[in-house]
Amino acid sequence: MERLALVTGANGFVGRFLTGHLRASGWNLRSSVLPGTAEDESAFGCDISDDAQVEALVQWAGPVTHVFHLAAVTFIPSSQAYPARTMDINLNGTIRLAETVRKLTPGARFL
């Protein structure tokens, strides 16, 4: 069985290690990064707080078997300075992505 994963937050600290490990283990990957930071066609710039962008991301990724959701605000000073934005990304973004994956690729495992 081919394993095709979508990794959100792929250019973050943990995302870089996870994508490297998955590639070395033979996985096919689709990566989501912050808008404007995609380095090649295997990465999709997506603002996880935007419904339309999340839907476009999941459609672009195609029939993934796994989703590794790492996109989040992790810098404490930023989260304290912008708590509503942090909640929209960390909580609502996770819900938004999970619901979109469930709708478009219902068999995918979500972590």
- The tens digit of pLDDT for each residue in 3-18 reads 999 999 999 999 999 9
- CA angle (61, 93, 111) in 5-degree steps: 60
Distance CA 9, CA 90 (A): 11
- The tens digit of pLDDT for each residue in 27-46 reads 999 999 988 777 777 799 99
- The tens digit of pLDDT for each residue in 79-92 reads 999 999 999 999 99
Provide the number of structural domains found in the chain: 1
Show the domain range for 102. 4-110
Global pTM value: 0.92
Q: Provide the CATH number for the domain around residue 103.
A: 3.40.50.720
